Amino acid sequence: MSTENTQSNEDEFPDLPPMPESANMRNEAPEAIDFPEGHKAGFVNIVGSPNVGKSTLMNRLVGENISIINSKAQTTRHRIMGIVNQPEFQIVYSDTPGVLDPAYKLQEGMMRFVKTALQDADVLILVTDIFEEGISHEATFDKIAKMDIPVFILINKVDLADQERAMEKAEFWQKKIPRAHVAPISALHNFNLENLLDRIVEELPVAPPFFPKDELTDKPMRFFVSEIVREKILTHYKQEIPYSCEVVVEEFIDEPTICRIRAEIRVARESQKYIVVGAGGRMIKRVGTDSRKELESFLDKKVFLDLYVRVDKDWRNDERKLKRFGYFD
Ligand SMILES: Nc1nc2c(ncn2[C@@H]2O[C@H](COP(=O)(O)OP(=O)(O)OP(=O)(O)O)[C@@H](O)[C@H]2O)c(=O)[nH]1
Ligand SMILES: [Mg+2]
């Protein structure tokens, strides 16, 4: 995606701060793209508590595995866009990190993504599940309740509840925001998602596309590579380890028949490095093998993965490092 802004009035307003990323994208109406009269387009942003199934839902709606999914909370750390293109509309979904009160700088960065997603949404999807009791994060909910854009409240994981509980939840949420479209769904089992697309398209504003019509996401290949490795870390380690790791792709060489990748797992402390490596390097080897297999299927070619573990002291609280990892502007 080009970041050049051809309509810039930089000369007139030389001191203006740079646009936030999402606002910038909105100025970028790609003029070369053909679209019919009455074309609809908009940002459909998905928010909700950790672990309720936001990423599972976005992947279903887009039809591709864009966001990593895991049974541990706080899997998603970034705002990740998944784009659905049809000749007559373009839906730009955004998956976001689960809403929480930040306890360290990394989480502050994560919550900034949620904040922007609440600001630039044309349509909002609030995901909850049948286990969430009441309203977990009042401040965020109050903001959503006051917004004057269409809101969908999707009660996920109804495959794990009886109908009565699902109905109770639906009534609870409908009372909280009477104008919202409330629906029980199962993102995992693709239940009750058929009509959702049509209803979302109905709510989209008439607008030109924001992205070229063949784009699927706003993120580069390296991002998905690091996310695949991070997902394996979430799967293989317990407790605080996944939350203390960041994956940095240091080298990505895409050759015709093989992809050569060098990635570093950054941990916050020396003791975590020992756990991640494991006795005789067993654990890191497992993570490497699983990552390589998935990368091969994702990239559709052979992958050579060189995986290192490095201590990057207290990176989670270091704003300069977090900037480099893409959590702050
Ligand atoms: N039974 C059931 N499990 C689901 C459903 N949707 C998601 N899950 C599971 O719930 C867990 C969390 O799913 P995610 O999609 O990662 O949830 P999330 O809201 O994106 O989580 P964070 O990124 O951590 O905030 C995973 O184990 C999913 O397989 C569903 O409809 N039914
Ligand atoms: Mg997620």
Centroid of ligand 2 to alpha carbon of 262 (angstroms): 25
How many angstroms separate the CA atoms of 169 and 158, rounded?
10
- Going by alpha carbons, the residue nearest to atom 1 of ligand 1 is 157
290: which residues sit within 8 A by CB, 6+ positions away? 232, 235, 236
- Using an 8 Å Cβ cutoff, are 284 and 326 in contact? no
Report which ligand 1 atom has the smallest distance to the Cα of 187.
31
Ligand number with the minimum distance to the CA of 48: 1
Centroid of ligand 1 to alpha carbon of 72 (angstroms): 9
pTM equals 0.91
Residue 17 is classified by DSSP as P
Ligand number with the minimum distance to the CA of 75: 1
Q: What is the pLDDT of residue 239?
A: 83
- pLDDT tens digits, 264-296: 999 999 999 999 999 999 999 999 999 999 999
How many angstroms separate the CA atoms of 227 and 43, rounded?
23
Long-range contacts made by residues 19-22, C-beta under 8 angstroms, separation at least 24? 20/116, 20/329, 21/116, 21/329, 22/116, 22/119, 22/120
Query: Which amino acid, residue 107?
Result: Q
Which residues in the chain land under pLDDT 70? 1-31
- Going by alpha carbons, the residue nearest to atom 16 of ligand 1 is 69
Instruction: Decide whether any atom of ligand 1 lies within 6 Å of the 128 Cβ.
Output: no
Domain boundaries, the chain: 21-203, 221-324
Instruction: Decide whether any atom of ligand 1 lies within 6 Å of the 184 Cβ.
Output: no
How many angstroms separate the CA atoms of 173 and 105, rounded?
32
Q: What is the pLDDT of residue 135?
A: 97
Q: What is the pLDDT of residue 14?
A: 34
β-pair partners for 251: 262
Instruction: Decide whether any atom of ligand 1 lies within 6 Å of the 235 Cβ.
Output: no
Homologous superfamily of the 21-203 domain (CATH): P-loop containing nucleotide triphosphate hydrolases (3.40.50.300)
DSSP string, 181-223: EEEE-BTTTTBS-HHHHHHHHHHSPB---SS-TT--BSS-HHH
Homologous superfamily of the 221-324 domain (CATH): K homology (KH) domain (3.30.300.20)
- Would you say the CATH fold of 221-324 matches that of 21-203? no
Q: What is the pLDDT of residue 2?
A: 33
Centroid of ligand 2 to alpha carbon of 77 (angstroms): 8
